[in-house]
Amino acid sequence: MRTTVESDPRPAREPRRRTGRAQDREILRLAVPAFFALVAEPLFILADAAIVGHLGTPELAGLGIAGTVLTTLVNLCVFLAYATTAGVARLVGAGDRRGAIRQGVDGVWLAALIGTGLLVVGAVTAPWIVDAFDASATAAPHATTYLRISSLGIPAMLIVLAATGVLRGLQDTRTPLVVAVAGFGANVALNLGLVYGADLGIAGSAWGTVIAQWAMAAAYLVVVVRGARRHDAPLTPDFAGIRASAAAGAPLFVRTVSLRAILLIGAVAATRMGDTEIASHQVAWQIWTFLAFALDALAIAAQAIVGRALGAGDVAGARAATRRMLAWSVWTGAVFAVVIVAARPLYIPLFTGDPAVRDLLGLILLAAAALQPLAGPVFVLDGVLIGAGDGRFLALMMPAVLLVFAGTVAVVLGLGGGLVALWWWGIGAFMVARLVLLGLRARGDAWLVTGATVRKSG
């Protein structure tokens, strides 16, 4: 008996150590390709800007307006990827590969339907949308041209979002990386050829991007169709399934709208402070957004892993994976904090030569650095609850966070606070509120719904 007791600790520790290492490998396998795929996405607009910028300032201004509209649209429709990831991963965990692909196909059909509607709206209302930006007489025609042509690529963009969600749910983040990199390369080549080789100007840039987007959508559709045929899953539209996909995505749409409203309020508040403040805020937010890609990659891994675990009925595995990814997120955020502070003399001069902007940027980046260890867990817990299909809670939480942020910003502005106060108190309140609410939810059991489908929970 004594021998058994004395030998118990050694075997008990070894499985836990192997499990932890296996979890780390799985997190990296999903998160690293997801990170590079996320980084590749905004490069489309940057590449267009670099190419169109040489045509002239009015063309570049027009691209800026149209690009803002298209980027906002994609961000608002990201629920197509998130909801599909969670649903597909859950069915994979339940051992229903055929059902998982069937649900993914429903998500793609939903994306195609929404994209077609937005195509029509965008093509018809492009001039009015541009007018809403109060564009100059020289920039407006270029913005309208780019937006009208780019509207033809909206269905492709949304299909790419949904199909990316399918593959993530199937625990595959490498294929989206390959498609994103290939799409970026094709976009650059087509833009150069059509803008300068064919002398089509800004219209050539729009056509090049549309062609690249449809090529990416076609690549994803080939992968999805092959998977459907392999598992004998139907490809025809199932309107009940499409409605279910829409219902699953609706709460995440509310979450995203609230998040976009928060970003808009922050930008408007900074704009009211002056040119130096809005310039500094814009650069700081771009740095924050770039670092968020790495944390988003962990969140994507969380969606896929947690969804699969709960689909398999493995509550302990879902909690263990959550703890592991939270540890990763805290360490990643801490590293980012150190890099932001230590490397300021190296990267701030790359963005501006204005001494006033440099000084202010250096101060608000201290706040950005301090918030990174909070941002890590926020992103991961967001991904955990999305993967668990806990969209109803997220839809209720984000408007509450929006009110907290708006109230804090109002107080900062009312007391005459500047941009530094906006970041420390406004952005700080935004992140703390999210962390508290997400953390309290994650500590409970309401989100731990097991099985192939998610039942409504409180």
- Identify the H or E element spanning 296: helix 275-311
Model confidence at 14: pLDDT above 80: no
Cα gap 173→168, rounded to integer Å: 6
Task: Quote the CA–CA distance of 116 and 154 in Å, as a whole number.
Answer: 7
Predicted structure pTM score: 0.87
The confidence band for 201, taking pLDDT boundaries of 50, 70 and 90, is very high
Where residue 454 falls among pLDDT bands split at 50, 70, 90?
low
pLDDT at 85 over 90: yes
41-67 pLDDT, tens digit per residue, is 777 777 788 888 888 888 988 888 888
Q: Is the pLDDT of residue 7 over 60?
A: no
| Residue 423 confidence class, pLDDT cut points 50, 70, 90 | very high
User: Is it the case that residue 328 has pLDDT exceeding 70?
Assistant: yes
- What value does the mean pLDDT take over residues 63-76? 86
SS3 of 16-76: the string is: HHHHHHHHHHHHHHHHHHHHHHHHHCCHHHHHHHHHHCCCCHHHHHHHHHHHHHHHHHHHH
Give CA–CA dist 264/373, Å, rounded. Answer: 24
What integer pLDDT is reported at residue 16 of this predicted model? Answer: 40
Look at residue 79 and tell me whether its pLDDT is greater than 70.
yes
Q: How many CA atoms lie within 13 A of 147 on its CB side?
A: 31
Length of the chain: 458
pLDDT for the residue 357:
84
5 pLDDT higher than 50? no
Q: Are 252 and 395 in contact (CB under 8 A)?
A: yes
Select the highest-mean-pLDDT range: 47-61, 238-252, 287-301, 341-355.
Answer: 238-252
Q: Is the pLDDT of residue 314 over 90?
A: yes
What is the DSSP secondary structure assignment for residue 458, as one 8-state letter? -
Packing angle, helices 79-93 and 97-132, rounded to 10: 170
Give percent of the chain with pLDDT exceeding 70.
Answer: 94
Residue 228, Cβ neighbours under 10 Å: how many? 17
Q: Residue 8 pLDDT > 80, yes or no?
A: no
What average pLDDT does the segment 147-154 reach? 95
150 token code pair: 């780019």
Q: Give residue 21's pLDDT.
A: 80
Average pLDDT of 29-42? 84
Tokens of 333: 């955020």
pLDDT at 455: 54
Average pLDDT, the chain: 89
Of the candidate ranges 155-159, 273-277, 376-380, the one whose mean pLDDT is the lowest: 273-277
Mean pLDDT check: name the lowest of 114-123, 156-165, 234-243, 347-356.
Answer: 347-356
Residue 261 tokens read as: 């409203």
pLDDT band at 19 (very low <50, low <70, confident <90, very high): low
Mean pLDDT value across residues 322-342 = 93
Distance CA 294, CA 422 (A): 24
Q: What is the pLDDT of residues 206-257, one digit of tens each?
A: 999 999 999 999 999 999 999 999 999 999 999 999 999 999 999 999 999 9
* Residue 458 predicted with pLDDT over 50: no
